[in-house]
Amino acid sequence: MKAATLNPRITFDPEIMSGKGCIRGMRVTAGMILGLLSTGASRTEIIEHYPYLEDGDITAALEYATWLATESDVPLQEVQ
């Protein structure tokens, strides 16, 4: 299995949104996009409300969430 790499659209800067994963250095976090998707907003609706976002930004937010979920897995230890 290939090691996961972060999408370059996700940026981290301590001066922007307290260092959270943001979209291309903007004050839009991946979490904000994920929250909108979780409430039923479509990609089209998100882009209509935030016209400076691109479809690839939404994909990057989803990839980032996947990366977070898989990178925080802790392998189980065999009980002896």
Q: How much is the average pLDDT of 14-38?
A: 96
Res. 73 pLDDT band, cuts 50 70 90: low
DSSP string, 12-45: --TTSGGG--EETTSS-BHHHHHHHHHTT--HHH
Token readout for 30 is: 């991946």
Q: What angle do CA 26, 28, 29 make, to 5 degrees?
A: 115
80, pLDDT greater than 70: no
CATH top class, domain 10-69: mainly alpha
53, pLDDT greater than 90: yes
11: helix, coil or strand? strand
User: Residue ranges per domain, the chain?
Assistant: 10-69
31, pLDDT greater than 60: yes
